[in-house]
Every structure is written in structure tokens, then in C-alpha cells.
Homo-oligomer: A and B are copies of this chain.
Amino acid sequence: MADLTIRFYSNVLKRDVSFLMVIPNDIRMDYPREDLKRKDRPMKTLFLLHGFTGAASNWVAGHLAEQYNFAIVIPNGENSFWLDGLPTGRQFATFVGVELVEYVRKTFHLAMNADDTYLLGFSMGGFGALHTAFAFPETFGKTAALSSALIHNEVANMKEGQGNDVANYDYYKMCFGEPSKLPESDNNPEYLVKKLKAAGKKIPEIYMACGTEDFLLEPNRAFHKFLEEQGVKHTYEEGPGIHDMRFWQEWAAKFIPLMF
């Protein structure tokens, strides 16, 4: 299983940035023959979005990528909620959904269309996996969101000088834009879903899971309910667990076979 660290100049973020990749294309010749055959199939690609305080690192056990024959692309989201913020160089949604996808396609000839380009994220990255899929539905065919930080409604109600345990008002404004404008902003995944429906556009396949002891359970249930009300087909699962790596590993291992 080959792994890559890649640094390139991002025109969107306006600086050199790094991302990681995993490509299971280095075949051990002493592998069983049927395995070799499997490797000849074209490879799909999973964009993996990390959580708040995290950075790019390969947390999905490589054996899933090997077993289901897909490449992984792991950008650094830098606590951005994977959104297009207001300041120059904070357009993380465009970075992932446009620039990085194009760069990977041109450099590696992977992930050539929505049918073979998926998203998966947890916590802040779960929010990003949903938002990015809705923002670029012609680019991503499927998305899996674990223990997602669906805090857009909380942020929408913040006033200057407020904040929460995680960050202050200026921080949320930098990521989400003006909070008061969030209800009708492209940084709001609910608003995007409504726009897609109104335009009759295809919505990517959605997989969601949240732990029953997760402090983010309520906003996940609320988003599940929102999707039901909108008549958007999706998979929503709950299971024992808190907001931790154990839960994400378990559900990544459950969703990836369904996706690939």
C-alpha cells in the first residue's frame, strides 16, 4: 500500500499546502493470484475530511483501501469547517471540491467522475462531507458523514462577542461568514439541499451515523429529520458510542463496503 505526501501551490488558499494520499497499487508479487486480478480494476477515490483540531493523517485502516481497491486523498482543513470563508485564502470548500479534485485527476488519473469520487468525514469533517457533496453534486457521487458537527443552526444564532467552548464569534464568522446570513447561505447544508431540490438536481448518496452517547446526537437527529421532511433518500444509523475514533473506525468499516 503506497502512501504519498504531496505539497503543491494552491491558488485558492494562496499558498503551498500539503495533503496525503494512499494508493494500494503496489502489488506484492507473493499475493494470491486472484488478488492481483482485482488490482487491475480501475480505482475509485475517497476524499477523507478530518475533524476539528485534527490534520491530514491516515486514520482509515489501510486494509479497507486494499480490500475494496480505492485510493484515499486526505487534505488539511485547518479547523475551517471545510467552508468558503470570507477572507481571501479561506475558501476550503472550493479548495477541496474544485481545485484538489482537478489536481488529483490531472496528476494521477484517478477519480475521473462523480461515480468514482466519494467523500467521508467525521465530526467537523462529517459536516464537511455533507456540505461539500451538496455544494458539488456533479463531482461527488456518495458521501459518508460520521458524528457530524452540524452546528450551522447554532452558529446562525450567534451574536458578536458570543462564542462557545470551542471558539469565539470572530472564528465562526471567519469560517461560516456573517452568522445572521447563514440561513440563506451556501455554507448552510440545509439551504443547499433545498436549492438542489428546487433545481431538480441529483443529490449524492448519503450515509450518516452517530453514537447514542455523542454530544452531537441531537443536531444529527435534526438533520436526519430534515432530510426525511425534504424527501431526500439517505441512510441514517445510530449505535452505541461517543465522539471518538473507535466509533469512526467502526462505522467507516461498515459504510465503506456499502459504498465501494
Enumerate chain A interface residues (CB-CB to B < 8 A): 1-11, 14-18, 23, 25-29, 52-55, 57, 78-79, 85-90, 103, 106-109, 163, 166-168, 170-171, 173-174
Contact = CB atoms under 8 A, between A and B. Distances in A.
A15 B174 contact: no
Contacts of A103: 25-26
Contacts of A3: 6-7
Given A29-B11, A55-B16, A167-B88, A4 B6 contact: yes
A56 to B, nearest CB: 9
Contact of A170 (B11, B86, B108): B86
Contacts of A106: 25
A41 to B, nearest CB: 14
B26 A167 contact: no
A89 to B, nearest CB: 6
B166 A55 contact: no
